[in-house]
A and B are shown apart, each in its own frame.
Chain A
Amino acid sequence: MTYASAKLVMKELSRARIRKLKMELRYALILLKRSPLTLAGLIIIGTLSVIALICTIAPQILPYPEDIGSATHPELLHCPPSPEHPFGCDYLGRDVLTRVIYGTKISLYAGALVVLLGLSLGTLIGLIAGYVGGIVDDVLMRITDAFLSIPGLVLALAIAATLGRGLMNAIIALAVTWWPWYARLVRSCTLAVKNELFVLAARIMGARSIVIMLKHILPNALGPAIINATLDLGFAILALASLGFLGLGATPPTPEWGAMISEARKYLPNMWWEATFPGLMIFLAVLGFNLLGDGLRDLLDPKFRRGARVWRI
């Protein structure tokens, strides 16, 4: 084949790929239209992501950017919702709306970090267990099962208390309790891939175990775990907020939603706005991820694609 014709083939191939991508996109759009809940989830998460991005790049366009930290406005202490401060002000006179918006960035980033760390740890353990097999597999899987037999949030409490207060410590504590599900998933995928011909070929050619594991098995075993991890983001945000509420997460003046509610609890029932709005944001974020996750799970599960036949009784 000449160089020119090879180029032509490549071009045609890439065109075909784009066509395929377009078709898949159109298919996804049709499915989205059929499931308004998934669409709602997508819109919520899209909006929150944009907010988080804006808070990262240009926090100064928030209504009262100085209120993110520990600014004090004695004249505004506990002022109820008004046109200037739609969500009211807190016990230092800070604008609750600003803090709630900025909290989006903190919760989204922290949740993503929890899931990412948990996924890394789980992948490492699952990969080793699945690939090495034998007694290593047995030991690692028994430990994984033991972790699954302990309520995760409770264990996270103990770890967070040991490491001390702080957002990063809460993230680490949750990640340490978050990995077992991913470890099991990656292990089962590793077992499925391990005996494929291409792995055998690599081994015959003398590739080292570590190379086989990282280069040939990992890319094929990671997919389902990544999807699951993304869908777990909502629960990670919820767990972080719970730790924050118990005083083990972000420390004041960080505007983390759970910590904000914890501080506002002292001023109930009169200053209800200080606790209500951060909670609504947690609810919205978790709901968004769950709606999106449910929809995606249905899309990816071929059983649901056809639409189950249900006998009407």
Chain B
Amino acid sequence: MLAAYILKRVAWIFFVIFVVVTITYVLTMVIPANPALLWAGPHATKEQIEKAAKYLGLDKPPFERYLMYWRRFLTGDWGLSIHTKRPVLADLAKRIPATMELGLSAMIIAIALGVPLGILCGVRYETWVDHVLRIFSLAGVALPTFWLAIMMQLVFSYWLGILPSTGRIDPGLAPKTITGFYIIDSILTNNIPALISSLKHLVLPALALATGPLAIIVRVTRAAVLDVLSREHVKTLLVYGMPRRVILMKYIAKSAGLPVVTVIGLEFGYVLAGDFVVELVFDWPGLGRYAAEACLTLDYPAIMGTVIVVAIIYVVVNTLVDIVYAFLDPRIRY
């Protein structure tokens, strides 16, 4: 049964990729008046536009063009970035580790802080702890990520001067590339200065990126804990004289954890979207800054490439979360 479920979910990934590529095809070829103009960028010369028209196959019938688009997508020929003048796919591949490092750190912060705080909120229901944390979590969802990033940069790096304002590591300190994750690489190569420098650079962007998901996780956990706390079996345990700590750790934390797993997939989408602006603000050399700069300069091939990659990452992560959830909760499989 589980195998069938996993198969179904993996098939879904392919369907979503099909839809995404088709959407980008429609956006590139069908909607604009002259696709070549868009593809060649705002300051293109006449030859560049002609070259783009030839690349896109504008002289061919639509269906053939669609097949051509697919062939290009599958062979990794995603066009040249107008801004960097390099193939988009190579640009993207180079930037994925930086984004993953930032995104995963933000997710870890959000979960590691959010779940305990949410449980605290639920257990101290309608006390001042609950009220304060609730107000914070309501505010956290409403804060525009890009503005929060700018404000953190302003306060902590420019005014207080305790953390670096931009970049991923101090110049000249980058560790030898093994995984592309600076933290892991510097631990593997036993490079303490690089580790400290990369951690220092990571703190602000990761916190800015984690705030929204953190707020949502606190809310979801709180609701889940309240749901468990209103069930009769908790009352039974209390009446039997079960120590409160055991009830909390064994019965509440466990059942409150499941809904949190389901929102992790959603959170990841939140992080990916916030990543665009946070990387732009902190000059973080990842996918997000690449896409954000592409938006600001209307670098069309780069925008489309990033959209496809981000959508694929998102759907793969969500499918993994679903499969993990099916392992945890057997009801899902049937």
Q: Report which A residues bind B (CB closer than 8 A).
A: 37, 142-143, 146-147, 149-155, 157-159, 161-163, 165, 234, 238, 241-242, 245-248, 258, 261, 265, 268-269, 272, 275-276, 278-279, 282-283, 286-287, 290-291, 294, 308-313
Contacts and interface: CB of A to CB of B under 8 A. Distances in A.
27 contacts: A37-B138, A142-B15, A146-B20, A149-B16, A149-B315, A151-B269, A151-B273, A158-B23, A161-B303, A162-B32, A238-B142, A242-B276, A245-B277, A246-B277, A246-B295, A247-B295, A269-B153, A279-B144, A279-B150, A279-B151, A283-B143, A283-B144, A286-B142, A286-B144, A290-B141, A291-B138, A310-B230
A275 B151 CA distance: 9
Contacts of A268: 150, 153-154, 158
B16 A146 contact: yes
A157 B276 CA distance: 10
Interface stretch (B74-82, B173-181, B193-201, B304-312): B304-312
B146 interface: yes
B203 to A, nearest CB: 18
B229 A310 contact: yes
A162 B28 contact: yes
Interface of B: 12, 15-16, 19-20, 23-24, 27-28, 31-32, 38, 123, 125, 134-135, 138-139, 141-147, 150-151, 153-154, 158-159, 226, 229-230, 234-235, 238, 244, 247-248, 252, 269, 272-273, 276-277, 280-281, 291-292, 295-296, 298, 300, 303-304, 306-307, 310-311, 314-315, 318
A151 to B, nearest CB: 4
B20 A150 contact: yes
A203 B162 CA distance: 72
Contacts of B28: 162
A234 to B, nearest CB: 7
Contacts of A165: 298
Given A146-B16, A151-B314, A246-B295, 10 more contacts: A37-B135, A146-B19, A151-B273, A158-B303, A162-B27, A268-B153, A269-B153, A275-B154, A286-B144, A313-B248
Contact of A247 (B125, B296, B318): B296
Contacts of B235: 311
B144 A269 contact: no
Contacts, number: 154
B27 A158 contact: yes
B318 A162 contact: no
Give the 8 A-B CB pairs with smallest separation, nearest first.
Answer: A279-B147, A269-B158, A287-B142, A286-B142, A146-B19, A153-B273, A151-B269, A158-B307
A149 B318 contact: yes
A165 B38 CA distance: 12
Contact of A313 (B138, B158, B247, B295): B247
B264 to A, nearest CB: 14
Contact of A246 (B24, B32, B272, B292): B292
A265 B24 contact: no
A76 B108 CA distance: 46
A155 B138 contact: no
Given A151-B314, A261-B147, A275-B150, A158 B142 contact: no
Nearest to B272: A151
A241 B147 CA distance: 10
Contacts of A238: 142, 144
B15 A151 contact: no
Nearest to B15: A146
A313 B244 contact: yes
Contacts of A310: 125, 226, 229-230
Choose among B150, B154, B296 the residue with the greatest number of A CB atoms under 10 Å from its CB.
Answer: B150
A313 B127 CA distance: 13
A162 B277 contact: no
A246 B276 contact: yes
Choose among A245, A286, A287, A290 the residue with the greatest number of B CB atoms under 10 Å from its CB.
Answer: A245
Contact of B31 (A162, A246, A286): A162
B145 A242 contact: yes
Nearest to A241: B144
A34 to B, nearest CB: 12
B154 A272 contact: yes
